Structure 1
Amino acid sequence: MITPRFSCSQTTNTVVVSIYCPSIRASDVEIHVDHTLFSIHVNPYFLRLNFSHPIIEDDESNAKYEPSSGYLTVTLTKADPGQDFQDLDLLAKLLAPRPTNVQAPCIEVVSSTTEEDELVEKAQNLSIDRQEILEAAQNDWQLPQSLPEDIPGVSIHAVQRYGFLNMYTGYFKHISHTENEVDELGPDAEIIAPAERRKKRIAHENSKWDEEHYMADFADDEMIQELIAWKHPYIEDNKAIHYTDEENMVMLRLPRKEYLATPHQTHVCYLTLLSLLFSYAYDSRTTQCDPTPESAWTIAALVPAFTALDPPPYDDTHIPFPLVFSPAELNAALVPSYRRCLAFPLYRSFALAEACRADVAGYLSKGKRLVLRCLLDIKNALDHHEVYYLYSKLWVDDFCVWIQTYGSDDVLTALAEGLKALPMSKNLIGWHLDELEAAVQGVEDRESDSDDESSGDSSDSSSS
């Protein structure tokens, strides 16, 4: 079945669903309404939407098809007239399955073969083998013989999970055969424990840190100051967010999942979101919202959850209230992003990193609709790369669905306020940034004094 393009709107008493389904027969349309669930089927299209409030079919409800435009417009009556149906523009949320009351993680069915089917299959195989033996004995045939195969080696390493809510495994089995320049775990990515991933990430960051590069950018920062002065149009624009047709099509292709995250997992999702938005902010500033072929590398390289499969939290602070973020925890969550933007890309400036943090606060303060648009931009950059599209599958696709269905504007606003007031110290980075900047400033001061003395000597000589 094909999921058609659609859009939803509302009036005081009705919800209107506009569906693009060209070349159909209106007499074949099947519509079903069940409390908050609306479904429509007309070959080859099928659409099921789950609204936030109940709807009903009554005399006021109707469906009209326009063959010239290919649009089927279905008008449904609100069970409670005047009730506001929220998030009608968040298509992935409407397409998500109806929430269940189960409080434990769902089980993923990896095979439809039941235990009984397996037993029957084994019995049949046994019967065939036995029949062959009996026939061979009766006819005095020579039974086929072969050397026993070597027993495969048994791995003593447990396969590790990773990605959004640790739902994935097996994606890096053949990483050595790809040109993944941001991967920091190598062929052992599938078996390296989380604690070891973190050690490898930190060691890699330290190896890539270049004092001379940082000092040179600090001394000659004209270009960096231009990047810092630039304003992101998403933050500057105060108009209501309306997604483009292209963005809506991307949302229609997102996976349809129900995420039964624990409070701690939800907490981790918000912290991981900060690193994704930080990488997006850096790329947006350095390209001024005109992505380049290097944008996918930049975004991927700055996210620890991508390069080392190492998402937050990065400290051992006990969290009594899962969705309350302390300054210490926010600092710990952002330090890896700061370190990476000072060690890997072209422009390496602490002031530029601070501007990116301000951008992240700006995205969050505008709510989940703008955050979703940023995530869609990240997905677009990664999906067009022949290697880094992998990180869309492991992280970004699920984040796009999760932020629509489970994201809270109140939590995002609280995070934004926390980032704005956050005192980020250079000492947390661990690379003696203050000392390096002081050394550069000292050299500049000495050169300035030398220039003043030279100009003074010249004036004395001319006067004599």
Structure 2
Amino acid sequence: MITPRFSCTQTDASVVVTIYCPSVRAAELETHVEDTLLTVHINPYFLRLNFPGRIVEDENSSGEYNPTTGYLTITLTKNVKGEEFKDLDLLAKLLAPPPSKARRSEPIIEVLSSEAMEDGDSLVQKTQNLSLEQQEILEAAENDWRLPQAVPEALPPLETSAQRLYGFLNLHSGYFTHVEHMENEVNELGKDAEACPLEERRRRRLRHEDEKWDEEHYMADLAEDEYIQELIGWQHTHATTAGHGYSEDEQLVMLRLPRKEYLATDTQTHDLYLTLLSLLFSYAYESRTTQRDPTPESAWTICSLTPAFSALDPPPYPTSFPQLPKDGHIARFAVAELASTFTASYRRALAFPLYRSWALAEACRLDVSAFLTGGKRTVTRCLLEMKHILDHHDVYYVYSKIWVDDFCTWVQAYAIDEVLEDLGKCVKSLHMEKAMIGWDLEELEEAVREAAQREPDSDDESAE
């Protein structure tokens, strides 16, 4: 079945679904309305939409097909007149399956039968038949339960396979089975990507960052930063204006996104928001350095700056910043966990790409704050642009499959605007310290300033 292009609008009393399905027989149209679900089938197209409110099919409902334009228009009545159906422009949210019904978490106990209390002789006989361990338990019960005790050793996790999961909610595997035969320059795990545990991924990532760190490159960019200052002064469109409505190309991409129900726990959801920060930071850096005109290196830049891509190592990361309050929280997110997330992004922004500047990294962080404040529509638009860049690369498209596709769907269907706005405020107020990076940035910058002060003196002496 083919999912057709469609759009949804609403009035005070109804919802209007416009579906593009050219060259079909209107007589074969089948529709079904149940609670919040609308199902449309007209060969070869199939569409199922899950609305945020209840709809009904009554005498005010209608369906009209225009064979000239190929558009089918279905009008359905709202169960509650005047109710506003939010997010009708978020197609992935409408296409997402309805949430599963809550399951009973506590066990259900059913008494199948009961027996009368045995007499004393029967109990004595059963006691004599007890095992030695069971008799010791009975004796201990008579002696105030003073059994010999020892702290049990923690059992190692049971591993039934050498293969490890990765990607969005650890849903993926097998994408790097033959990675040694691919020209994947950002993969820091090599042929071990499929079997490398998370701890080892993190160790390799940190080691690779230390190896790629170049003091001279950083000092040179600081000494001659005219072009970098131009990049810092550039304003991102998504950071200054909130977009309204998606283009036709964006809608077509959203129709091809995975349609999944993500059963994430509260902890997993929290971690997804943190991972979203690192993705948006990489997108912000690429956008600033190309001014939203992607180059053949754009996909490499995004992947190199994102730990979840290059090392399959998403947040959260261990925090070791004693200068930050341990119990300090800004809304839903701890200061330390936000700092550790951006520390990983800053380190990569200072070690891998062409322009390596602390001030540029700070500007990208403020871009991330602006994207989040714009809500899930702005965030989705950023992710769609990132997806477009990755999808058009013959190697790095794999990171779109294991991360960005799912994030595009999840943000539209599950992210909450209030949480994104709250997170945006957290990111904006976050104070990043250069000491967090671990590469003596302050000492290097002081050396550059001292060298700059000495240069005029040497020029004056040569002039004399």
Tell me if both proteins adopt one fold, taking TM over 0.5 as the criterion.
Answer: yes
Distance in 1 between residues matched to 2:76 and 2:331, nearest whole Å: 37
State the Cα distance separating 1:321 from its structure 2 match.
9.4
The match for 2:132 is: none
The CA distance in 2 between the partners of 1:213 and 1:302, in whole Å, is 17
CA contact (8 A) 1:182 1:297 kept: yes
Distance in 1 between the 2:174 and 2:19 partners? 38
- Contact 1:60-1:77 within 8 A present in 2 as well: yes
1:234 deviates by 1.4
1:443 to 451, 457, 461: 451
1:43 paired residue number? 43
Local SS of the residue matching 1:9: strand
The 2-side partners of 1:323 and 1:243 are apart by 31
User: Following the alignment from structure 2 to structure 1, what is the Cα–Cα distance between the partners of residues 258 and 231?
Assistant: 36
Given candidates 279, 298, 301, the residue that maps to 1:298 is 301
* Number of the residue aligned with 1:77: 77
Cα distance in structure 2, aligned partners of 1:311 and 1:302: 12
Residue 157 of structure 1 deviates from its aligned partner by 6.3
Q: Find the aligned partners of 1:320 and 1:101 in 2 and give their Cα distance.
A: 36
Deviation, 1:242, is: 1.1
Question: 1:26 offset after TM fit, Å?
Answer: 1.3
| 1:166 matched residue in structure 2 | 170
Offset of residue 101 of structure 1: 2.1
**Whole-angstrom distance in 2 between the partners of 1:305 and 1:233:** 26
Task: Tell me how far apart the structure 2 counterparts of residues 374 and 380 of structure 1 sit (CA, whole Å).
Answer: 10
Secondary structure in 2 matching 1:347 = coil
Misfit runs of 4+, over 6 Å:
317-323
Checking the alignment, whether the CA contact within 8 Å between 1:103 and 1:260 is kept in structure 2 is: no
Quick check: 1:284 aligned with 2:287? yes
Mapped partners of 1:103, 1:362: distance in 2:
38
Distance 2:380 2:103 in 1: 26
1:206 and 2:214 are equivalent in the alignment: no
Residue 320 and residue 257 in structure 1: after superposition, are their counterparts in 2 closer, same or farther (change >3 A)? Answer: farther
1:354 aligns with 2:362: yes
Partner of 2:30: 30
Distance 2:67 2:302 in 1: 44
Q: Aligned to 1:378, which of 386, 390, 401?
A: 386
Contact 1:26-1:65 at 8 Å conserved across structures: yes
Matched, 1:314 2:317: yes
Please list, as runs of the form range in 1=range in 2, the aligned pairs for 1:1-400 lying within 5 A after superposition: 1-102=1-102, 158-238=162-242, 240-315=243-318, 324-400=332-408
1:210-268 per-residue CA deviation (whole Å, 9 max, x = no partner) reads 00000000000001000000000112224x42101000000000110000101110011
Give me the TM-score of the superposition, normalised by structure 2: 0.85
Three-state SS of the structure 1 residue aligned to 2:333 is coil
Q: Provide, for residues 315-352 of structure 1, a one-character-per-residue CA deviation record: whole Å limited to 9, x for no partner.
A: 26999999811221110011111000110010000000
* Cross-structure match for 1:125: none
Counterpart AA for 1:305: A
Matched-pair contact (CA < 8 Å) for 1:267–1:323: no
**Identical aligned pairs, as a percentage?**
61
Contact 1:18/1:74 (<8 A) preserved:
yes
Counterpart of 2:257 in 1: which secondary structure? coil
Partner of 2:46, secondary structure, is strand
Supply the AA of the counterpart residue of 2:455.
E
Q: Is the CA contact 1:9–1:15 (under 8 Å) kept in the aligned structure 2?
A: yes
Give the superposed CA RMSD.
Answer: 2.0
Distance, in Å, in 1 between the alignment partners of 2:428 and 2:175 is 37
For the residue of structure 1 that corresponds to 2:379, the secondary structure is helix
Q: Give the letter for the 1:186 counterpart.
A: G
Deviation at 1:447, TM superposition (A): 1.2
Q: Which moved more, 1:95-104 or 1:396-405?
A: 95-104
Which among 400, 409, 415 is matched to residue 401 of structure 1? Answer: 409
Matched, 1:426 2:434: yes
**How many residues matched?**
406
How far apart are residue 190 of structure 1 and its match? 1.1
Query: Residue 58 of structure 1: CA displacement?
Result: 0.6
Check the 8 A contact 1:184/1:204 in 2, yes or no.
yes
Once the two structures are superposed, what CA deviation does each residue of 1:285-312 show, in whole Å capped at 9, x if it has no partner?
Answer: 0000001111100001100000000000
Q: Is the 8 A contact 1:368 1:408 kept in 2?
A: yes
Gaps in structure 1 of 5+ consecutive residues: 105-154, 459-464
> 2:236 and 2:52 mapped to 1: Cα distance?
33
What secondary structure, in the 3-state scheme, does the structure 2 residue paired with 1:331 have? helix
Matched residue type, 1:204: H
Separation of aligned partners in 1, 2:70 and 2:422: 44
Distance 2:161 2:387 in 1: 32
Gaps of 5+ in 2: 105-158, 321-325
CA distance in 2, matches of 1:454, 1:429: 40
Inter-partner Cα distance in structure 2 for 1:192 and 1:41:
45
1:131-167 residue CA offsets vs partner (Å, 9 max, x unmatched): xxxxxxxxxxxxxxxxxxxxxxxx9963211000011
The letter for the 2-side match of 1:224 is I
Say whether the 8 Å CA contact 1:264–1:322 is kept in structure 2: no
